[in-house]
Structure 1
Amino acid sequence: MQSLTNIYRLGIKELWGLLRDPIMLLLIAYCFTLDIYTAATATSDSLHYASVAVVDEDDSPLSRQIIQAFYPPMFIKPVRLYSMDEVDRGMDTDQFTFSLNIPPNFQRDVLNNRSPEIQLNVDATRMGQAFVGNGYITQIVNGEITEFVNRYSATNSLPVGIQVHTSFNPNLTRSWFGSVMEIINIVTTISIILTGAALMREREHGTIDHLLSMPVTPFEIMMSKIWSMGLVVLVSTWISLLVVVHAWIGVPITGSVALFLTGAALHLFVTTSMGIFMATVAKSTAQFAMLFILILLPLQMLSGGSTPRESMPEFVQNIMLLAPTTHFVELGQAILYRGAGIEVVWTSFVWLLAIGSVFFVFSLMRFRKSIVSMGS
């Protein structure tokens, strides 16, 4: 009971220390609010109000039908007609992202099966819109030409029709995916920063010497930092999930929030232990920051949150099974998107518990050694 009391009181001390750090409080507030909203809504990789300039040298019903097919929200409406010189100047001055040149006699050549060509110019400096818009415009032009030709010739339709049903995100809304993935990234980032910064602050301010003179063990000191900083991140995650993601952005939460927070607590057990381990390895705050970046980037990029793990090399997939973010992303997507229960995500829970136990033991050994060296 005395050990639990020490862990509790030391944890309260950590919370009071955090409350007296306005910069850290501001960082937490920003990351769990505006950062999540920005990541979900401002970095869209879909086509949205792209500018298209058209040079219509045919002026036929088919060319006008193609021009009218470009409508919001993918393209700016109305699409205006320009001369070739105006289009060239507009592309050079970053006025247009796309320019479409419909040649003379285009409709006549199409109806006579002469395979005319339409020129599509793309401003590739706008990589996001250029890559996606190229495919959109090609599909639109081909679809309008096919519809137009079918009015004048008999067609043989395929005997099979494909019906596409999109599950879990019917409108393919990117904010639904981006907001939840950003929460997962922020949980990892902030938990490592808080625990690592708490230990670095003890070392730099000299308060670690006061702890060594008290009747407390390294285990109690480490556990107090884990539960206090983990609690801050867990409460922030709960509030952000309900207020920012669900109420503000409008993402429907299908599964159990309590089950997701349980998985988040296991993930925090791992990441807070990692933060303490990194703080014992680093000799200064600058070294801790460099080590933090070195570890955080592969944890986030190779976890399966940005790209499917199946698309990665098999060697990377196997290595990342030892990373906690892999299993946290897996259970987060399963619970919040697909409404999965414990019978589906229990393997991820077991993985996190096992990884957390290993990290905790190694961190405790390193922390005890570090405290002994500082005391001597």
Structure 2
Amino acid sequence: MNASARRLAAAVRKEFRQFLRDRLLVALVVFIYTADMVMCTVALSFDVSNLKLAVYDGDRSQISARLVERFTATDYFGQLVPATSLRAIDGILDSGRADLALIIPAGLAQDIDAGRPSAVQVLLSGTNANTANAARGYAVAIVGGFARDVLVEHAARHGVAVELPGVRAETRIWYNPQLEFRHFMAVSMIVVAGLLVGVITAAAGLVREKESGTIEQLIVTPLRSHELIAAKALPPFTVGMLTLAPSLVIAKLFGVPLAGNLALFILASAFALAAFLSIGFFIATLAENLQQALLLAFLVLFPLMFLSGTTVPVESMPQAMQWLSYLSPVRHYMEIALGVLMKGIGLEMLWPHFAALAAATALLGTWGVVRLKRALYA
């Protein structure tokens, strides 16, 4: 073993001992990849169900009762809040006791029997746009289906056989047949955990050396700049890659198929974690203390997450933001994670994202190393 290898090995051993001695930091890494992943996967969901429905039935007929039953028979609407008057609807929506209100006017059954056009009113609380859009879609579909059934029954009572033309969609859902949102959330949290661990551990570890004054001692050692940076990066990189294993087990327990080549995903995780560590080292060159490092880290973390598709679909963003998201290594890592773990596809389909992730890792790594070298050895 030559002198350079011996120096590097000694520095790596020292950094591993120092990193593992900080039990709180190690516990934080394990927590993010395990307990935090479980809590977020269970708690965070954009599925809309068990909506609270306020109902004012001004008709009080068999027809109106059937319409209300159409709503309550689905999983979309859970709690039914009866309203005694139209004025009471305002109070129910204002107080948040209902997400939407169904208003059935008096004379609905008579209008239907006479063949006259009739209408019911649906009021929606728009405080949560996602919930309101989903509730509107459910309500329109239910009322539309009810209207078709009423039309056929009305025609039959008058001796007219009606067969309404229609097109039936034969749907088949790939990759996630049960439409379990937690499958996507589990994969997303693995990606987010890598980002958090990479950026925060790298930034906090180097800034802590600055605060304690030991960074000057490292600089005056025979270690060269690239050896010092490699020694600093290896402990969080190794721990991050090792804690990837329990996160995959947790994802499997949540029902994620893990359909593809796990070696391919691990390779992508190594590229991504190296890129995230580089971002953390860059932040450490700007910060003078741990508080500054954490604030700068969050300044970087949120845009990276929001432009990656881990929280909202990239396709729903404005076009300019979609183009900007291609610069985020998190987006390419997320695409690879979904492709490998959910779809089971390989490098023949994912190579553009692998190439972009590798390029981002090389660029960020070079940038972080150069910046760190200048800051430490200037």
> TM-score normalised to the size of structure 2?
0.89
Q: Residue 273 of structure 1 aligns with which residue?
A: 278
In the alignment, residue 3 of structure 1 is paired with which amino acid? S
Q: Residue 223 of structure 1 aligns with which residue?
A: 230
Q: Residue 218 of structure 2 aligns with which residue?
A: 211
Deviations along 1:161-200, one digit per CA (max 9) or x if unpaired, are 3222221122222111112112111211210111111111
SS in 2 for 1:350: helix
C-alpha distance in 2 between matches for 1:49 and 1:183: 28
SS in 1 for 2:351: helix
SS in 2 for 1:151: helix
Once the 2 structures are TM-superposed, how far is the Cα of residue 103 of structure 1 from its aligned partner?
1.3
C-alpha distance in 2 between matches for 1:283 and 1:163: 61
Match of 2:73 among 71, 74, 92: 71
Corresponding position: 1:353 with 2:340: no
Deviations along 1:89-144, one digit per CA (max 9) or x if unpaired, are 43343322222121122123134342222122333335543332122122112212
Q: 1:132 to 1:5 in 2, by over 3 A?
A: farther
More displaced 10-residue stretch of structure 1: 229-238 or 284-293: 284-293
C-alpha distance in 2 between matches for 1:352 and 1:337: 19
Q: 1:120 to 1:161 in 2, by over 3 A?
A: closer
Q: 1:39 to 1:165 in 2, by over 3 A?
A: same
- Could you tell me whether the CA contact under 8 Å between 2:61 and 2:109 is conserved in 1? yes
C-alpha distance in 2 between matches for 1:22 and 1:215: 29
Deviations along 1:243-285, one digit per CA (max 9) or x if unpaired, are x2211x2322221222111100011121111211221122332
In the alignment, residue 234 of structure 1 is paired with which amino acid? M
Once the 2 structures are TM-superposed, how far is the Cα of residue 19 of structure 1 from its aligned partner?
2.7
In the alignment, residue 341 of structure 2 is paired with which amino acid? L
Q: Residue 158 of structure 2 aligns with which residue?
A: none
Q: Residue 181 of structure 1 aligns with which residue?
A: 188
C-alpha distance in 2 between matches for 1:201 and 1:183: 26
**Cα RMSD after superposing both structures:** 2.4
Q: 1:80 to 1:313 in 2, by over 3 A?
A: closer
- Could you tell me whether the CA contact under 8 Å between 2:211 and 2:288 is conserved in 1? no
Q: Residue 366 of structure 1 aligns with which residue?
A: 371
SS in 1 for 2:353: helix
SS in 2 for 1:164: coil
Aligned residues: 370
More displaced 10-residue stretch of structure 1: 49-58 or 263-272: 49-58
Deviations along 1:35-60, one digit per CA (max 9) or x if unpaired, are 22232232222222222232222233
What are the within-5 Å matches in structure 2 for residues 18-33 of structure 1?
A: 18-33=19-34
Deviations along 1:299-325, one digit per CA (max 9) or x if unpaired, are 111123334444445544444333211
C-alpha distance in 1 between matches for 2:299 and 2:47: 30
Deviations along 1:79-98, one digit per CA (max 9) or x if unpaired, are 46441165454334332222
Once the 2 structures are TM-superposed, how far is the Cα of residue 236 of structure 1 from its aligned partner?
1.5
More displaced 10-residue stretch of structure 1: 227-236 or 298-307: 298-307
Q: 1:352 to 1:126 in 2, by over 3 A?
A: closer
> TM-score normalised to the size of structure 1?
0.89
C-alpha distance in 2 between matches for 1:133 and 1:203: 54
Q: 1:326 to 1:126 in 2, by over 3 A?
A: closer
Percentage of pairs with the same residue: 27
C-alpha distance in 1 between matches for 2:327 and 2:126: 39
Corresponding position: 1:340 with 2:345: yes
Q: 1:128 to 1:38 in 2, by over 3 A?
A: farther
Q: Residue 118 of structure 2 aligns with which residue?
A: 116
Q: Which runs of 5+ in 1 are unaligned?
A: none
More displaced 10-residue stretch of structure 1: 281-290 or 182-191: 281-290
SS in 2 for 1:283: coil
- Could you tell me whether the CA contact under 8 Å between 2:19 and 2:235 is conserved in 1? no
In the alignment, residue 122 of structure 1 is paired with which amino acid? L
Q: Residue 165 of structure 1 aligns with which residue?
A: 172
- Could you tell me whether the CA contact under 8 Å between 1:238 and 1:261 is conserved in 2? no
- Could you tell me whether the CA contact under 8 Å between 1:62 and 1:145 is conserved in 2? no
Q: Residue 330 of structure 1 aligns with which residue?
A: 335
